[in-house]
Structure 1
Amino acid sequence: MSTLHVLSHSPFGDERFGSCLRILGSQDALLLCGDATYALQPGTQPFQALQALHQQRFVLLEDAQARGLAIADWIVAVDYPAFVELSVRHDKVNTWL
């Protein structure tokens, strides 16, 4: 059983980012959107933590572009239709509110 974890809050504001990474299962995937895309800032602890993950990693392209963030080659940029497809592909979706 797989879960798509959707993070939208900044990884620098609270513990949601770290908590999410700790519970990711081997079949799970992670989607960054909103302010969670700030985790893609090179040289930061969240960036390094994301790089080290073995699970699938996605970022909502529109949100990364809106924040002027470059998208690393190890994360897959998706649009809204692909976001919906990811949600359907996984057994569960967990949005970290």
Structure 2
Amino acid sequence: MSTLHVVSHSPFTDSRLDSCLRLCGTQDAILLCGDGAYALQPASAPCQALQSRGVKVFVLAEDSQARNLAVPEWAGSVDYPAFVRLSIDYGKVNTWL
């Protein structure tokens, strides 16, 4: 069953994103929101880990814009209605609290 993993904490202050990446399967996706969007800082270890892992990555547009982060070509930018659609499209939603 596919899972949408929602990560809202900065990868620079804890290890939730690392734990999430260890559990992600090939059919899973990660949605970065809140401070989780900082994982998209260019040339950072979290950004490289997300890109090399090969899972689908999405970021909440409002959060990337608020943090002045460009969304890389390999990631998708979504608004709130698209976030709801993603939650429906995946079999499970796991929020990394």
Identify the TM-score tier after normalising by the shorter chain.
over 0.9
Provide the rounded CA distance (Å) in 1 between the counterparts of 2:54 and 2:43: 19
Separation of aligned partners in 1, 2:24 and 2:75: 16
Matched, 1:82 2:43: no
Q: Aligned partner of 2:49: which letter?
A: A
Residue deviations 1:44-97 (CA, integer Å, cap 9, x gap): 100110111211110100000001111111100000000000000111000000
CA RMSD of aligned residues (A): 0.6
Tell me the percent identity. Answer: 64
SS at match of 1:46: helix
**AA in 1 matched with 2:38:** Y
**Which residue is 2:11 aligned to?**
11
Cα deviations by residue, 1:14-72 (Å, 9 ceiling, x for unpaired): 11010000100111110000000001111110011011121111010000000111111
Q: Which amino acid in structure 1 is aligned with residue 77 of structure 2?
A: A
How far, CA to CA, are the matches of 1:85 and 1:46 in structure 2?
26
Secondary structure of the residue aligned to 1:25 is coil
Number of aligned positions between the proteins: 97
Unaligned runs of 5+ in 1: none
> Any runs of at least 4 consecutive aligned residues in structure 1 with deviations exceeding 4 A, and if so which?
none
Residue 95 of structure 2 is matched in structure 1 by: 95
TM-score (norm 2): 0.97
- Segments of 5+ residues of structure 2 without an aligned counterpart are none
Q: CA–CA distance in 1 between the matches of 2:26 and 2:40?
A: 22
> Which residue identity is paired with 2:79?
D
